[in-house]
C-alpha cells in the first residue's frame, strides 16, 4: 500500500528529565503511518518504556498533527508535544537518513549538520566542534576535556577518538548546539552529540543490509530483536566495513588509508512490569586499517636558512617526491602505518517509575586501545623512522537522574561520577637520513648518518582523572504561552599526570648533557630528556536560564543565557622548555575556560504544518580558551596546551524543511559562523614566521617567508579566525517518489539528492597562507525501489568528483613542507536492505 503520512512508529517510552525529545527524519522516507507513543531521556534520546505515558487526548492530537503534515514529537512533561515547542537549537538525523546518505560514522556526520565540524588526521587526532568551539584543533592531549559531549545510549565517551566507530544499528543522532551542562552527566560547553541505538523489542523483528561499491567497498549489517520470555527481550547487531585506500604508496606498493572495521552490539531488556525497565548492553568495535598517510601538497618559504628548507634538503639527498600533483593521490612515505583501534564496554541502565516521576540509573565501563604507527616526516626519506604512541584507556561512570512532570512544573535533578585512567607508551626514532635533514649543512656532522640514526625518545605517561557533579533544571509553565526554565550545576574535577622521556642513541647509550661533545649537542637538539608530574583540582559552578513564549499556535520564540565552563587541564605530553632546556613547570596546569553564551531563536511551522522554518542567533564568549600550541622543532615537543586570552563565536543558523506531499520532501540547513581569537598575544607563529633566529632586544622580525630571517618568539594572532571553522556552511536534500508495481509488489521508485557546502577554513592553529583549505561543495545522488520490507538503491557520492582536502598539516622542523589528506573521490555502488 502506498504511504500517505510521514514516517512515525510506535515506541514504548518513559518520561524523562530533558524537556525535549525529537523524532525527526531529515529527508526521511514517507511510509505508512502508525500510532505513536514516544518520549525521551534527558539527552533527547528515545528509549523503551511504558506506552501508558501518552493520554488518549494527546494521541488524538498527534494523529491530527500527522494528517496536517510533518511533525516532531516531544514528551517533556509526560505528554506528547511537537518539537517546535522546545526552546533549543537541535538537528536530528534518523538512522535511515544516515544510511541513505552514506554517513556511517561521526566524521562523516558533518555533511548533514552544517554547524558541526569534524576534522581528523587519524582516529586519535580527531577534533569535533560545534559552532567552531569544543576541542582544540591539532595534536590531541589527554589532559583536557572535550567541549562537545558524545553520548551513546546515555553513556558519555570521554575521548573523541573513542567515538570514531561505525554507526551500528542506530535509530537516530541528535546534535544539540550550545552549553548543555544543567541536564548532562558530564559538562559540555559547546553542545552534545547523542547517538541512540535501536532497543530490544517484544515483537520479533530483523533487518539485513549489504552494500558493494567501487574501491572494493563492502559493507554488511544485520540486527535481530525479539522476546526471550514474557519479561525479557534481546537484540543483537553486527556490522563489517572494508574499502580499499584512496592513496597509493609507491614505497609499499599498496593503497593506504583503507577501511577495515568490525562492530558488534548486544542488549538484554528485562521488564518485569510497566514501571521498570532494566537494560544491559555490551559493544565491541575494531578498526585495523593501514592508515593514515598523507600526500605532498606544496612548499612554502619559512625563515630558516634557505639551505635548510625542504627543496634544498631534498636536493642534497637526491630525493624527489613521487608526485607534486596532490590529486594524483600518490605518496612515497616509508615508515610503517597503523591506526589500530579497539573500542568497547558495557552499561546497565535502570528506569523506574517512582510515584509521579522517573528514576534513572546508568552504570557504565568503557575501554579504548589505540595502536598507531605514523610517518611523521611526511616524506620518502627516513628522517623519522619510527613514530608511535600506543595508549590504553579505562573509564567508569555512574549517573542518577530523577524526573518529575506535572501540568505546571517539570524538573530533573541528577548526580554524576566519572573516573578515567589513560596509559601511553611512546617511541620515536630518527632514521638514516636524519643527520643530513636536521644538522646544519655547514656542520661536518651532517654528513655522518650515525650521529642521529637510531636516536630514540622513549616516553612513559599516564593520566588519572576524577569528576563529580550535581545538576538540575526546572521548567515552570507560568501561563499557557510563557515558560521559564532555569538550571544549575556544581562540578568537581581532579587531574594528575606523569610524563617521562628518556633518550638513547643508536648504540643504546643514554643521551644526557654530560659528557659534552659535538655529537651530544647535535643529538640533544633533537630530543631532550624530561620528567613532569602535573596535578590540579578545581570546583566550578555554572547556571543557565531559558525563557520561551508561544507567539502563536505554531510560532515559538525563546531567549537563553548560560554561564558555563570547561574544567582545568594539564599538559600530558611534556612541557615547553626555557632557554636552558629546563621544563617550564608553570605550564603544566591549564586554567579552566569561562564561558558566557547567549542565544535567541524562533521556531515556526506553516502551510498546515507541512513546512518548518527555524532561525537561531548565538554568541559565545570564552575567556582563557584552551588552545593547542605547536612547536616547530622536530621531535622536541609535538604540542602542548595553553590559555588564549579570549575567543568569540557568533553567528546565525537557519533550518528549513517542507513536505509538500507524500511524494516530495526537501530540506536546507545553513549556518554563518564567525569564530575568532579576540585576544591571543603569545600564540605560536605560522610557518612563514618560524624557523629563523629569534629576535633580540631592539630587533624587528623579518617579513614572512624570509630565508635566514629573524623570527618572533611568539605571535599576536588576535582577530584571526579559529582553525577548522567555515564561515559559511550549507546542507541540502530532496527526495521525490512515485508509486509503482515491481515483481508483483506494490512500492515506490524514488530519486534522492543531498549535498553540502563549506567555505574555506584554516587548517593550522595559527592561520597560515600555506594551510588555508579552499571551500568545496559535494553532491550525492541515489535512485531506488522500496516496498514492503525491501529497499534496493544505487548511489553516487561526490557526483562531480570534486577535489578537496579534509585537512592540511605542517611538517615538523620548519622546513616549509605542507602535506595533506585528500577527501574521498567520486564513489558509487548499490545497497540492498531487507526487514522483517
**Average pLDDT for residues 562-572, to the nearest whole number?**
91
Q: How far apart are CA 433 and CA 415, in angstroms?
A: 56
**Residues making up the chain, counted from first to last:** 836
Of 828 and 168, which is predicted with more confidence? 828
Q: How far apart are CA 293 and CA 243, in angstroms?
A: 15
**Average pLDDT for residues 224-229, to the nearest whole number?**
98
CA-to-CA dists, residue 77 to 38, 85, 356, 612, angstroms: 12, 12, 11, 23
Q: Map out the domains of the chain with their CATH numbers.
A: 51-835 (2.40.170.20)
Q: How far apart are CA 602 and CA 88, in angstroms?
A: 9
The pLDDT of residue 15:
33
Q: What is the pLDDT of residues 585-595, one digit of tens each?
A: 888 899 999 99
Q: Give which of 173, 66, 178 is closest to 133, Cα–Cα.
A: 178
Q: Record the cell numbers describing residue 129, joined without a space.
A: 566542534
Q: What is the average pLDDT value for the chain, to the nearest integer?
A: 86
Q: Among 21-35, 167-181, 320-334, 818-832, where is mean pLDDT lowest?
A: 21-35
Q: How far apart are CA 213 and CA 217, in angstroms?
A: 5
Q: Where are the beta strands (DSSP E) in 64-182?
A: 73-74, 81-82, 90-94, 116-120, 126-130, 148-152, 155-157, 170-177
Q: Which residues contact 112 (CB under 8 A, 6 or more apart)?
A: 26, 91, 93, 97, 98, 101, 103, 731, 754, 756
Q: How far apart are CA 782 and CA 778, in angstroms?
A: 14
Q: What is the pLDDT of residues 639-686, one digit of tens each?
A: 678 889 999 999 999 999 999 999 999 999 999 999 999 999 988 899
Q: What is the pLDDT of residues 127-159, one digit of tens each?
A: 788 998 987 766 567 788 888 888 899 899 887
Contact 631, 576 (CB under 8 A): yes
The pLDDT of residue 717:
94
Q: What is the pLDDT of residues 594-612, one digit of tens each?
A: 999 999 999 999 999 899 9
Q: Where are the alpha helices (DSSP H) in 257-404?
A: 310-316
pLDDT confidence band for 124 (50 / 70 / 90): confident
The pLDDT of residue 83:
63
Q: Which residues contact 551 (CB under 8 A, 6 or more apart)?
A: 481, 557
Q: Strand 728-742 relative to strand 710-711: parallel, antiparallel, unpaired?
A: unpaired
Letter string b/e over residues 115-151, b meaning 16 or more CB atoms within 10 A of that residue's CB: bbbbbbbbbbbbbbbbbbbbbbbbbbbbbbbbbbbbb
pLDDT confidence band for 91 (50 / 70 / 90): confident
**Average pLDDT for residues 81-104, to the nearest whole number?**
74
The rounded radius of gyration (Å) of the Cα atoms in the chain is 27
Cβ neighbourhood burial of 320 (10 Å; 0-12, 13-18, 19+): exposed
Q: How far apart are CA 13 and CA 54, in angstroms?
A: 9
Q: How far apart are CA 636 and CA 459, in angstroms?
A: 12
**Which pTM does this prediction carry?**
0.87
Amino acid at each position: 500500500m502506498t504511504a500517505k503520512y510521514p514516517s512515525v512508529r510506535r515506541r514504548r517510552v518513559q518520561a524523562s528529565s530533558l524537556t525535549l525529545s525529537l523524532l525527526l527524519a531529515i529527508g526521511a522516507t514517507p511510509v505508512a503511518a502508525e500510532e505513536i507513543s514516544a518520549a525521551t531521556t534527558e539527552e533527547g534520546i528515545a528509549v523503551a518504556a511504558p506506552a501508558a505515558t501518552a493520554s488518549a487526548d494527546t494521541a488524538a492530537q498527534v494523529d491530527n498533527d500527522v494528517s496536517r503534515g510533518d511533525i516532531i514529537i516531544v514528551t517533556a512533561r509526560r505528554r506528547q508535544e511537537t518539537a517546535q515547542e522546545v526552546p533549543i537549537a537541535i538537528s536530528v538525523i534518523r538512522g535511515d537518513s544516515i544510511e541513505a546518505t552514506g554517513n556511517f560514522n561521526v566524521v562523516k556526520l558533518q555533511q548533514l549538520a552544517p554547524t558541526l565540524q569534524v576534522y581528523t588526521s587519524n582516529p586519535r587526532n580527531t577534533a569535533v566542534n560545534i559552532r567552531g568551539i569544543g576541542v582544540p584543533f591539532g595534536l590531541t592531549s589527554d589532559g583536557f576535556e572535550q567541549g562537545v559531549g558524545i553520548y551513546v545510549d546515555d553513556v558519555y565517551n570521554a575521548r573523541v577518538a573513542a567515538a570514531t566507530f561505525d554507526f551500528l544499528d542506530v535509530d537516530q543522532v541528535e546534535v544539540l548546539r550550545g552549553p548543555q551542562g544543567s541536564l548532562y552527566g558530564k559538562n559540555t560547553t559547546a553542545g552534545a552529540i547523542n547517538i541512540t541505538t535501536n532497543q530490544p523489542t517484544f515483537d520479533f523483528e530483523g533487518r539485513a543490509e549489504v552494500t558493494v561499491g567501487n574501491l572494493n567497498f563492502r559493507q554488511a549489517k544485520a540486527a535481530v530483536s525479539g522476546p526471550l520470555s514474557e519479561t525479557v527481550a534481546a537484540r543483537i547487531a553486527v556490522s563489517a566495513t572494508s574499502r580499499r585506500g584512496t592513496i597509493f604508496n609507491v614505497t609499499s606498493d599498496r593503497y593506504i588509508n583503507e577501511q577495515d572495521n568490525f562492530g558488534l552490539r548486544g542488549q538484554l531488556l528485562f521488564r518485569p512490569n510497566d514501571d521498570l525497565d532494566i537494560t544491559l548492553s555490551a559493544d565491541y568495535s575494531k578498526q585495523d586499517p593501514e592508515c593514515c598517510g598523507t600526500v605532498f601538497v606544496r612548499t612554502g618559504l619559512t625563515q630558516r636558512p634557505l639551505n635548510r628548507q625542504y627543496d634544498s634538503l631534498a636536493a642534497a639527498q637526491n630525493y624527489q617526491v613521487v608526485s607534486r600533483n596532490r590529486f594524483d593521490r600518490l605518496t612515497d612515505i616509508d615508515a610503517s602505518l597503523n591506526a589500530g583501534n579497539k573500542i568497547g564496554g558495557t552499561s546497565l541502565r535502570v528506569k523506574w517509575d517512582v510515584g509521579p516521576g522517573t528514576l534513572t540509573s546508568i552504570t557504565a565501563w568503557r575501554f579504548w586501545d589505540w595502536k598507531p604507527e605514523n610517518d611523521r616526516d611526511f616524506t620518502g626519506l627516513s628522517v623519522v623512522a619510527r613514530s608511535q604512541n600506543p595508549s590504553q584507556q579505562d573509564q567508569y561512570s555512574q549517573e542518577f537522574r530523577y524526573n518529575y512532570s506535572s501540568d505546571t512544573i517539570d524538573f530533573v535533578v541528577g548526580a554524576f561520577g566519572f573516573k578515567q585512567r589513560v596509559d601511553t607508551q611512546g617511541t620515536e626514532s630518527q632514521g638514516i637520513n636524519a643527520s643530513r635533514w636536521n644538522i646544519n649543512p655547514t656542520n661536518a656532522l651532517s654528513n655522518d648518518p650515525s650521529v642521529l640514526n637510531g636516536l630514540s625518545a622513549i616516553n612513559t605517561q599516564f593520566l588519572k582523572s576524577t569528576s563529580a557533579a550535581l545538576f538540575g533544571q526546572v521548567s515552570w509553565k507560568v501561563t499557557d504561552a510563557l515558560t521559564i526554565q532555569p538550571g544549575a550545576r556544581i562540578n568537581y574535577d581532579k587531574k594528575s599526570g606523569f610524563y617521562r622521556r628518556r633518550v638513547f642513541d643508536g648504540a643504546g647509550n643514554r643521551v644526557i648533557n654530560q659528557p659534552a661533545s659535538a655529537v651530544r649537542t647535535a643529538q640533544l637538539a633533537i630530543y631532550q630528556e624530561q620528567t613532569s608530574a602535573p596535578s590540579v583540582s578545581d570546583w566550578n559552578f555554572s547556571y543557565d536560564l531559558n525563557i520561551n513564549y508561544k507567539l502563536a499556535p505554531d510560532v515559538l520564540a525563546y531567549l537563553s543565557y548560560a554561564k558555563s565552563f570547561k574544567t582545568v587541564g594539564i599538559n600530558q605530553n611534556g612541557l615547553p622548555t626555557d632557554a636552558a632546556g629546563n621544563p617550564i613547570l608553570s605550564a603544566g596546569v591549564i586554567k579552566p575556560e569561562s564561558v558566557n553564551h547567549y542565544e535567541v531563536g524562533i521556531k515556526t511551522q506553516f502551510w498546515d504544518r507541512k513546512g518548518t522554518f527555524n532561525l537561531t542567533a548565538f554568541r559565545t564568549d570564552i575567556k582563557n580558551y584552551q588552545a593547542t600550541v605547536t612547536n616547530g622543532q622536530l621531535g622536541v615537543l609535538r604540542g602542548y596546551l595553553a590559555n588564549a586570552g579570549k575567543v568569540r563565536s557568533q553567528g546565525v543558523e537557519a533550518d528549513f524543511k517542507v513536505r509538500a506531499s507524500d511524494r516530495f520532501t526537501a530540506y536546507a540547513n545553513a549556518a554563518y559562523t564567525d569564530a575568532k581569537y579576540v585576544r591571543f598575544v603569545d600564540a605560536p607563529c605560522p610557518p612563514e614566521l618560524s624557523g629563523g633566529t629569534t629576535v633580540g632586544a631592539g630587533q624587528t622580525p623579518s617579513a614572512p617567508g624570509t630565508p635566514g630571517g629573524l623570527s618572533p618568539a611568539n605571535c599576536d594572532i588576535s582577530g584571526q579566525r579559529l582553525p577548522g571553522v567555515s564561515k559559511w556552511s550549507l546542507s541540502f536534500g530532496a527526495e521525490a517518489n512515485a508509486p509503482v508495481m515491481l515483481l508483483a509488489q506494490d512500492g515506490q521508485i524514488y530519486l534522492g539528492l543531498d549535498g553540502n557546502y563549506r567555505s574555506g577554513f584554516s587548517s593550522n592553529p595559527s592561520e597560515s597562507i600555506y594551510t588555508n583549505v579552499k571551500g568545496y561543495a559535494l553532491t550525492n545522488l541515489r535512485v531506488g525501489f522500496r516496498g514492503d520490507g525491501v529497499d534496493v538503491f544505487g548511489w553516487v557520492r561526490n557526483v562531480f568528483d570534486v577535489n578537496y582536502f579534509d585537512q592540511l598539516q605542517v611538517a615538523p622542523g620548519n622546513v616549509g613542507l605542507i602535506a595533506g589528506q585528500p577527501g574521498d573521490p567520486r564513489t558509487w555502488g548499490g545497497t540492498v536492505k531487507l526487514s522483517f
